[in-house]
Amino acid sequence: MPDDEVPVLIVGGSLVGLTTAALLGHHGVPSLSVERHAGTAIHPRAGHFQLRTMELLRQLGLEDRVRTKSLETYSPTGGIIAVESLAGRELGVYVKELNEGVEGFSPTVRVFINQDALEPLLRERALELGATVVNRTEAVALEQDDDGVTVTLRDLDSGDEREFRARYVVAADGNRSPMRGRLGIGMRGYGQLSRSITIYFRADCAELLRDRNQGVMYVHNPELRGFFRLDRTGGNGFLVINTVGADVTQDSAIDVQSGLTEERALKFLRTAIGTDMPMEIVDVANWQAEANWAERLREGRVFLAGDAAHVVPPNGGFGGNTGVQDALNLAWKLAAVIKGDAGPALLDSYEAERLPLSRLTVQQAYTRYATRVVPERGTDGVEPPIPDIELEIGLVMRSEAILSENGDDGVLHLQPSALDGRPGTRAPHVVLTDGRSTLDLFGSQFVVLRLAGDAVDDWAPPGATSHVIEAEPFAEAYGLSAGGATLVRPDGVVAWRARGAAGRDELTRALATALAL
């Protein structure tokens, strides 16, 4: 391949761009990520990583590194509470303990790790897997034709421009997504919620934390509302401020940025800490809390992923996690089409499967913002909350590439107790006799799982591998009876299931449908 061509060009080398690059590399497809910043994230931003994200990192061989890194900064048992101030009264508990109630559903756990600690690990893994990442380079123009996309790249140091050819482009270029604008894709949703700030600071708050090993502490008092994330020493962290003043129904309350001086920032910090002590502001970042989703996720050969596809307020920790799931859904499809293993129509399933979930996630993040930060603004447009676990491992997808069963009820999320391996859901975690998880079987090829029994046929069509698994608890978890089989995609989603006996022809047809062949 000429050195100005690449199968996939990724615009953006942050959380989602790097995850996409690592996953493409895992599937054997080279990519080029271009990032205008000099390196990976400089601010902590995302900190709460969900089960499904950790499952993906496990698949990439990163779980241990991420868990070890996480412990350097956070307790593994933190929770999410609300306080008047760090020194003041405790007002409520949103999440008692990060991993409470999730045991048994996954081979991994939720973690708190800052984005600026996670991204270098992702970048390193992407490079190990053959991806190319270039910094201080901006994608400034893009033109598509029937065979590919021509992207103009500008070197931000020299100003030189050159054209690059790619078969597909992933726009992981963040919430303002210049690519989305260029493609004319609009946003839907709730608009701008507040002109928020994040104050990064150092102050010795250890004593105020007492025995509270919290990952996130919401602050509610007449002067401000937002949240703290402090490291386990209690000496470093940040304070997000979403609103100022006692009356949050006033529009001025949601503009924290206007008139901000260092003195005012210090006053906010002192109020939120609740007592005076030596404190140093390291940096202040301005950002807009929004709750919106892109009305389309694809224009020709260009796909939106991450914040480019959906922007949420940080409440609930959905932003980065949802973007990482976009990458998981898209990367194997791009790889399969590029390698000629799948038909190009498979790429239509990305929007069909992810867009309804993108909207659902934005609505749920808005619900958490509205109820935790500005409850006085009322419940207009606020959907009832769905438990986090359902949004992590209970989501249901539909597309031409998923063979839904008769009587599909159309629901988008299920309680863990209702998850039984139905097509369109994440294939359940079951511990195998060798101690591994069923999830450890997924990630590369399609996998056929069969229930062990008399004369069970362990045949798999070309392009898939087969595993025969002992009855309990696999049969119940996957909704199978004697002779039953299930077909799991490389992203760990069930594409098809035959609850009872299934023949080779049926399986072959199911795989062809799942690959749009």
Ligand X SMILES: Cc1cc2nc3c(=O)[nH]c(=O)nc-3n(C[C@H](O)[C@H](O)[C@H](O)COP(=O)(O)OP(=O)(O)OC[C@H]3O[C@@H](n4cnc5c(N)ncnc54)[C@H](O)[C@@H]3O)c2cc1C
User: Using the rule CB under 6 A, which residue among 124, 138, 231, 255 binds ligand X?
Assistant: 138
User: Using the rule CB under 6 A, which residue among 320, 394, 424, 428 binds ligand X?
Assistant: 320
Residue number, 205 or 304, with CB nearest to ligand X: 304
Report, in Å, the least distance between residue 391 CB and ligand X: 12
Please, are residues 304 and 171 in contact by the beta-carbon 8 Å criterion?
A: yes
User: Using the rule CB under 6 A, which residue among 8, 24, 31, 45 binds ligand X?
Assistant: 45
Report, in Å, the least distance between residue 334 CB and ligand X: 17
C-alpha 308/C-alpha 241 separation (Å) is 23
Residue 217 interacts with ligand X (CB under 6 A): yes or no: no
User: Using the rule CB under 6 A, which residue among 7, 47, 237, 428 binds ligand X?
Assistant: 47
Sign of CA dihedral 498, 500, 506, 508: positive
Residue 139 interacts with ligand X (CB under 6 A): yes or no: yes
Report, in Å, the least distance between residue 107 CB and ligand X: 20
User: Using the rule CB under 6 A, which residue among 55, 63, 97, 173 binds ligand X?
Assistant: 173
Residue 37 interacts with ligand X (CB under 6 A): yes or no: yes
SS (H, E, C) 102-135: CCCCCCCCCEECCHHHHHHHHHHHHHHCCCEEEC
Residue number, 302 or 449, with CB nearest to ligand X: 302
User: Using the rule CB under 6 A, which residue among 31, 70, 194, 198 binds ligand X?
Assistant: 198
Using a 10 angstrom Cβ sphere, with 0-12 exposed, 13-18 middle and 19 or more buried, the burial of residue 258 is: exposed
Residues in 234-273 that interact with ligand X by CB under 6 A: 240
CA-derived radius of gyration, the chain: 23
Residue number, 19 or 438, with CB nearest to ligand X: 19
Please, are residues 476 and 59 in contact by the beta-carbon 8 Å criterion?
A: no
Map residues 394-433 to x or -, x wherever contact with ligand X holds by CB under 6 A.
----------------------------------------
74 as an active site residue: the answer is no
Report, in Å, the least distance between residue 505 CB and ligand X: 42
Residue number, 80 or 485, with CB nearest to ligand X: 80
Please, are residues 183 and 54 in contact by the beta-carbon 8 Å criterion?
A: no
User: Using the rule CB under 6 A, which residue among 15, 402, 441, 487 binds ligand X?
Assistant: 15
User: Using the rule CB under 6 A, which residue among 9, 32, 46, 273 binds ligand X?
Assistant: 46
- The identity of residue 470, as a single letter, is E
Which of 463, 415, 417, 469 is closest to 439 using CA atoms?
469
Question: CB 160: neighbour CB atoms within 10 A?
Answer: 9
Report, in Å, the least distance between residue 114 CB and ligand X: 9
Residue 215 interacts with ligand X (CB under 6 A): yes or no: no
Report, in Å, the least distance between residue 370 CB and ligand X: 17
Report, in Å, the least distance between residue 139 CB and ligand X: 4
Residue 292 interacts with ligand X (CB under 6 A): yes or no: no
Helix (H, G, I), strand (E, B) or coil at 89: coil
User: Using the rule CB under 6 A, which residue among 32, 34, 328, 330 binds ligand X?
Assistant: 34
User: Using the rule CB under 6 A, which residue among 292, 321, 361, 399 binds ligand X?
Assistant: 321
Residue 147 gets which letter from DSSP?
Answer: S
Cα→Cα distances 505→267, 502, 508, 512, Å = 70, 8, 5, 11
Residue 67 interacts with ligand X (CB under 6 A): yes or no: no
Helix (H, G, I), strand (E, B) or coil at 54: helix
Q: Which two tokens stand for residue 11?
A: 């615009």
Which of 18, 354, 146 is closest to 10 using CA atoms?
18
C-alpha 304/C-alpha 308 separation (Å) is 6
- The identity of residue 266, as a single letter, is L
Residue number, 78 or 319, with CB nearest to ligand X: 319
User: Using the rule CB under 6 A, which residue among 12, 25, 226, 484 binds ligand X?
Assistant: 12
Residue number, 327 or 412, with CB nearest to ligand X: 327
Could you please report the per-residue DSSP string of 157-213?
TT--EEEEEEEEEEE---TT-HHHHHHT--EEEEEEEEEEEEEEEEE--HHHHTT--
Q: Which two tokens stand for residue 60?
A: 């990439």
Which of 350, 374, 358 is closest to 318 using CA atoms?
358
The residue with tokens 């609740």 is: 274
Q: For ligand X, how many residues bind (rule: CB under 6 A)?
A: 34
Report, in Å, the least distance between residue 110 CB and ligand X: 10
Q: Which two tokens stand for residue 515?
A: 């690959």
Residues in 430-469 that interact with ligand X by CB under 6 A: none
Residue number, 37 or 212, with CB nearest to ligand X: 37
Residue 403 gets which letter from DSSP?
Answer: -
The closest residue (CB) to ligand X is 306
Residues in 105-124 that interact with ligand X by CB under 6 A: 115
Q: Which residues pair with 236 in a beta bridge?
A: 202
Per annotation, catalytic residue among 190, 218, 369, 478: 218
User: Using the rule CB under 6 A, which residue among 237, 319, 394, 490 binds ligand X?
Assistant: 319
Site residues (vs ligand X, CB under 6 A): 11-12, 14-17, 34-37, 45-48, 115, 138-139, 172-175, 178, 198, 240, 287, 306-307, 314, 317-321, 323
Residues with catalytic roles: 218
